[in-house]
Amino acid sequence: MSFTPHFDAGPGKYRVGMILLSNDYATERDFINMRPSDEVTYFAVRIPMPSEITPESLARTESELGMAASLILPGGRVDAIAYSCTSASVVLGHERVQRAIQSGRPGVPCITPINAALSALDVLGAARIAVLTPYIDAINEQLLQYFSDRGIDVRSFYSFKLISDLDMANLSPRSILQGAVEADRDDADAVFISCTAIRAAEVIDIIEQKIGKPVVTSIQAMFWQSIRTAGYTAPIHGYGRLLSVPE
């Protein structure tokens, strides 16, 4: 060899690890679409999840998180690890998810959609919200309580009441748009669309234009907090007010 190889920091100035459910159709697609440049990279692993989304099946994911986290670039740099399941984060609580993930990757910041959504609502000054979910009532009740315990005033709550992950994935963006507009209330500061299994990100801007207020979705909020934690601070356009404002 006639030259000395040069080594740099490797791909991705801002690196986000992601733990996905095995039946997640939406998160990777939305992360790719929202990604501002090749400087932002993500590295995903998947964990087992049955097709029916219930509090019991969600709680069982806790035991998978540590091993999954340990498989994300072992020995390499990861700036944040996001667990892409809003309802599991509610059922388990952010703290339990964080402990489980950090058992596999000590010291790496943990992002959950529900904690990211709370941070996003705070940044947007939204204490009163309208909520749209795809969940069955057993999960809806826990989500409503989660918000109430943290001082968020839920003014309306609409749900498609789906139990199947495939039904959630197949829920059309048009239906999500219509559901969000119907869920909105004049006295709500923002609309929150829960669940990382549905394709809500692509209609955020349209909903905001129709209702004249911010829209926060699970994947959008998780993406926002993940890249901000990783150090990316520039605005990203096309996915709501939350991402369009630089930090």
The type of residue at 227 is I
Contacts of 29 (CB under 8 A, 6+ apart): 199
Q: How many domains does the chain contain in total?
A: 2
Asked if 152 and 184 sit in the same domain, the reply is: yes
- 188-247 per-position pLDDT tens digit: 999 999 999 999 999 999 999 999 999 999 999 999 999 999 999 999 999 999 999 877
Q: Is residue 6 part of a domain?
A: no
Query: Same domain, yes or no, for 130 and 69?
Result: no
Task: Specify the pTM.
Answer: 0.95
- CA-based max dimension of the chain: 70
Q: What is the pLDDT of residues 54-70, one digit of tens each?
A: 999 999 999 999 999 99
| Paired tokens of 144 | 């409503």
136 and 190 in a common domain: yes
226 and 168 in a common domain: no
Report d(CA 81, CA 224) in Å as an integer. Answer: 13
Looking at the structure, tell me whether residues 132 and 65 fall in a common domain: no
What is the DSSP code string of 135-189? --HHHHHHHHHHHHHTT-EEEEEEE----BHHHHHHS-HHHHHHHHHHH--TT-S
CA distances from 63 to 7, 19, 71, 213, 216 (A): 37, 13, 14, 39, 29
Domain hosting 185: range is 115-217
Q: Does residue 198 belong to any structural domain of this protein?
A: yes
151 and 203 in a single domain? The answer is yes
- Is 52 found in the same domain as 101? yes
- Do residues 179 and 185 make contact, with C-beta atoms less than 8 angstroms apart? no
pLDDT digits (tens, 9 = 90+) for 118-155: 999 999 999 999 999 999 999 999 999 999 999 999 99
Q: Are 96 and 83 in contact (CB under 8 A)?
A: no
